[in-house]
Structure 1
């Protein structure tokens, strides 16, 4: 059957429409690839100075990766509990987390090297830390435990012994105190002074103090403010007894799937954030004592003689425990730390 003039015209119009649609589609920008999700868990409350540094770090990672790394931060134990973060990242349940060094406990006791009583309280040493041999040594050991370190965040070299009713000014004052501990090796020093250390996550210490489960605690001076310890403790003794840091780490298998650009973004953001954390921590440590006093806390800055007495009581017990837990690796790490002093 011979096509009519109308049917031929219709075919021509349809062909033109199809061609036009195809041309229009090729002119449209390609749909952007989905960003790589990066869920990061940590325990700190929003008001904590390091919590704010983590938020800044996350924004920097996203910027440097041109939005390809979608960093989602979950603070205050809102995604994973503090003591479960390490395993969650190692297993790949989440991509990223932050932990305090002493939360590694017996899994990697080397991480506790800086909590040795009066071992590393120098700010100059902490400025060198992120790119030091000591940090690289720990990064290698962390990888063997199933996580890849991406950022070091110095938190404090200024702690407080908190108490209620009377201050803790001498080793003898610790006798009979049920006290929040921070890890096996450090807690040996508390035991040496007569205290009974109790293992409690940071997010639960306030309630434990309020209800009398424990009598006293040791914490970062800025954390005593941000966690509102002043509501349940009325005496605080400021001591440079330990240095603590938070560190950010990711699942190695997830990391290996990233582009070189995204890996570079994590590296640069980590280097920058290490500096931000140091600045923020110094500012927080400087302002916290006065802020605590404004809430009625009797704040005492330990004297040189008082610090010497604490060191004499605590250091030998810590050294014995650290040596038992870490062996040859511990001796090597202590040598590397001494290079920073």
Structure 2
């Protein structure tokens, strides 16, 4: 074969490779959590990317952790506008646009991991997912994370222990409850808690067990109130995909992504309770006192929540009371 013929063969091969590469559909997945450091939400998204790659259906999921593509509270709008394909999102971050989402971070509504699993298939979650779907987004994997309180002032147990403290709570329902108990409120995503505590903007915070560890909050506090048997704080943090992105996929790609989402959900279900124990262990190892709420503490908080955030949610949010009733109906 002469040099000219060889050049033509090589060029044809390169063109064919380029056409294959261009045929590959790429989805961008953004989230706020640290990548490669054992955060379960990043691991769920990475698992989906790996499973989709193994399915070999011409689909790639590129993961952008740590707010490297969108800031934490910009992701929902980006999803609904089709500027972002996938995200792992604490859903209550979007409650400013959809106030119904505050029901997914309502004090005392979940209480334990077993009940969280039952909620996934309930009328309550059907109502929440209708709001998600109507906004042009769909759920690929459910995830409820338990959380607790941490402070560098005093241990948080009964409601009076937050009085005078500046707290971060993640969403409007917890904000109202804490304010009713005498705390000052500073709102921010969990990715900003560390710096806010370091600079004295915060005295304490609520967040998930996963975020308490991955954001190294143990370096800034003296006491942790772990979820234990009376977890006041539970937050819905699903893996989501934009409907615009979903509609661009072939049926085979949609099936691969659905299967991958199911595997990610099953992975999370096996990890959920362990996150709480890991948090307690890591905080103790770093010299932080670790306690949990008593049943009486829990009931005292719930009483305040029902008089403040529950009441406000029922009055101000369309279908608010129906959402609360549907959640409480789950045994």
TM superposition score normalised by structure 2:
0.87
Deviations 1:88-137 (A, max 9, x none): 11112221222102201221122222322211123233223444433332
Question: Paired residue for 2:233, among 242, 258, 263?
Answer: 242
Matches within 5 A, 1:56-205: 56-64=47-55, 66-156=56-146, 159-205=147-193
Deviations 1:34-72 (A, max 9, x none): 2111001001112212221221122123323x1422100
Residues 222 and 29 from structure 1, CA distance in 2 versus in 1: closer, same or farther, beyond 3 angstroms? closer
Give, in whole Å, the separation in 2 of the partners of 1:95 and 1:107. 19
Give, in whole Å, the separation in 2 of the partners of 1:198 and 1:29. 53
Moved over 6 A (4+): none
Q: Secondary structure of the residue that 2:69 maps to in structure 1?
A: coil
Q: Secondary structure of the residue that 2:89 maps to in structure 1?
A: strand
Q: Tell me if the contact between 2:138 and 2:240 (Cα under 8 Å) persists in the aligned partners.
A: yes
* Pairing 1:325–2:313 present: no
Aligned to 2:28: 39
Q: CA deviation at 1:31?
A: 5.4
Task: Tell me the C-alpha RMSD between the 2 structures.
Answer: 2.3
For structure 2, list consecutive stretches of 5 or more residues without a partner in the other structure: none
Give, in whole Å, the separation in 2 of the partners of 1:340 and 1:98. 25
Does 159-168 or 189-198 show the bigger shift? 159-168
Question: Paired residue for 1:254, among 240, 245, 249?
Answer: 245
Deviations 1:145-198 (A, max 9, x none): 232222222222xx2211114212221121111111312222110011000111
* Pairing 1:51–2:39 present: no
Does 222-231 or 208-217 show the bigger shift? 222-231
Q: Tell me if the contact between 2:29 and 2:87 (Cα under 8 Å) persists in the aligned partners.
A: yes
Does 275-284 or 36-45 show the bigger shift? 275-284
Deviations 1:292-317 (A, max 9, x none): 11100011111122222222223321
Q: Tell me if the contact between 1:155 and 1:277 (Cα under 8 Å) persists in the aligned partners.
A: no
Does 288-297 or 238-247 show the bigger shift? 238-247
For structure 1, list consecutive stretches of 5 or more residues without a partner in the other structure: 1-16
